[in-house]
Amino acid sequence: MAAKQPTQEELAAHRMRQQEFEDAARQVQSLVDNIRHDPMKLHKVTVHGATKTRESFMHRILQPALDARSLHEVIGLSRQAVRRMERFGIFEDVKLQLDSTSEPWLQDRKDLIDLGIWVTEASRLQIKTGTEAGNAEASMYGAMTLKNVFGGAETLSTSMAFGTRTSSAFQFAFATPLLADPDKNLSFNLFSQARNNTQWSSYEEELKGGSLKYTTLSPLGYHEFAYEGNWREVCRPAEKASLSIREQCGHSLKSALTHMWIHDMRDEPLMPSTGHFVRVIQEYAGLGGDVNHLRQEVEAQVARSNEAGYIVSATVKSGYLHSLDGKRSKISDRFFLGGPMSVRGFKSNGLGPREGEDSLGGDAYMSAGVSLLTPFPGLTTRDAFKAHFFANAGTLVSVEPGQTAKKTVDDLTKAPSVSVGAGIVYRHPQVRIELNFALPLMAAKTDAVSRGWQLGLGISFL
């Protein structure tokens, strides 16, 4: 049955109501524009529903709005305060309302205004369990988080996980924002991990320790400053373990300062189509214990696309570990390279120094990759599935104590391992999945080659 068409009178009445609404909106906007710079300040702020949140914490968030001196500033700074409240994750809903002051003896004061804020606090306790797949590892986990512990958006969390590579991991963490700023956080962590490295080398590793971290945002990106102290043990060597692995077995104590800077301007991290990304990690170990080194790692990526859905991305990574005490580095601190998310066409951690079946890691590396993602014909979810063509190259070398920088650069550049290939990429909301056929073109004698199909699941790819 066809819908009834409106009459000319009904259309005219609708147009008239719409015109009246638009005229009223213009009058309100004109009124606001005329008085937006007139003297105005908040007389009173009332927060409703914040029963678990400290008054001093809310006051610090709202302080900029309390210092406003015009209607324009009051509105703008009040909205900024609400956005800050939402970012802490302790409120499910935040609403504000500006109104003239309700005090009878101040009715003649046109320069005073009241602010009312209504909040709905989120549940403090969160419990999560599930499974994860990423960076060539599958795991199951359980986590319990207590939010807004002392009424200032503090977070107390504990978690445990069991996986294919990280056999077990336990963590206890306490985090708090500084100065009621969601962009400045201080956290204290205690952790214990057991890692199974037998897939590429004949040993397991246990780590126990703690860290103190300060994170902040600047116009240049994300910064993390940390002190970390941990006890490591290379243990349980397999019967076939090489002499180099057996020599590494035992305990070590590491005390280190680190700084990480991330500048991420990509549209998304899993399958970026535009933008660039830079990450720099610097570490100084030697404040105590038996580890003394400088360690630097740099990663950069750029991505571009066109309207037809073609994406080109290029990634470069490099790292250098410099001993400060004239001793060889420990395997727990070395770099490893190769695999379906690193230099494709080689086994996981299969590049670089090797003894028998054991990958020994290296002190310096360089890697680079170029990928072309194209629309996959015949699929309706063209944004999630892409055909993939790539070229990868990488080198991982050991550095002897006292070795010159020139020799290190020569070792890194004289004979890189190279591979090319093609496959398909699927972008899951939480992980990127690649199935590629890889063909190594150049390889060192010690490299563990993996010619043929490779499956990669992770969040970071070369």
CATH number of this structure's domain 15-121? 3.10.20.310
Residue 77, φ and ψ in degrees, nearest 5: -75, -30
pLDDT of residue 291: 94
Tell me the CA distances in angstroms from 237 to 33, 250, 311, one per residue in order.
75, 11, 44
Q: CATH: 1.10.3720.10, 3.10.450.40, 2.40.160.50, 3.40.50.720. Which one for 197-458?
A: 2.40.160.50
pLDDT of residue 360: 94
CB atoms near residue 206 (< 10 Å)? 17
In the chain, what is the straight-line distance between the N-terminal and C-terminal CA atoms, in Å? 59
Helix residue ranges, H only, 129-269: 243-248
Residue 297 tokens read as 């790692």
pLDDT of residue 1: 46
Chain centroid offset of residue 302 CA: 17
- Reduced to 3 states, what is the DSSP secondary structure of residue 134? strand
Instruction: Tell me the whole-structure pTM to 2 decimals.
Output: 0.84
pLDDT per position in the chain (462 positions), as tens?
A: 455 666 777 677 777 777 776 766 665 565 555 555 677 788 788 888 889 999 999 999 989 888 888 878 888 888 898 899 999 989 988 888 877 777 666 666 777 888 888 999 999 888 887 666 555 556 677 889 999 999 999 999 998 887 767 677 899 999 999 999 999 999 999 999 998 898 899 999 999 999 999 999 988 999 999 999 999 999 999 989 999 999 999 999 999 999 999 999 999 999 999 999 999 999 999 998 899 999 999 999 999 999 888 999 999 999 999 999 889 999 999 999 999 989 999 999 999 999 989 999 999 999 999 999 998 776 655 578 899 999 999 999 999 888 888 999 999 998 899 999 999 999 888 889 999 999 999 999 999 999 999 998 888 888
Closest-CA residue to 396 (of 355, 357, 350): 350
CB atoms near residue 238 (< 10 Å)? 14
What is the location of CATH 3.10.20.310 in the chain?
15-121
Tell me the CA distances in angstroms from 376 to 270, 308, 428, 436, 439, one per residue in order.
18, 11, 16, 14, 22
pLDDT of residue 451: 92
Position of tokens 């908040």?
42
pLDDT of residue 116: 87
- Reduced to 3 states, what is the DSSP secondary structure of residue 444? coil
Burial of 39 (C-beta count, 10 Å sphere; 0-12/13-18/19+): exposed
What is the location of CATH 2.40.160.50 in the chain?
197-458
Closest-CA residue to 317 (of 296, 298, 338, 339): 298
pLDDT of residue 36: 58
Report the DSSP beta bridge partners of residue 269.
Answer: none
pLDDT of residue 130: 65
Q: What is the DSSP string of 377-422?
A: TT-S-TTTEEEEEEEEEEEEE---TT--HHHHHHHHHSS-EEEEEE
Position of tokens 């800077």?
261
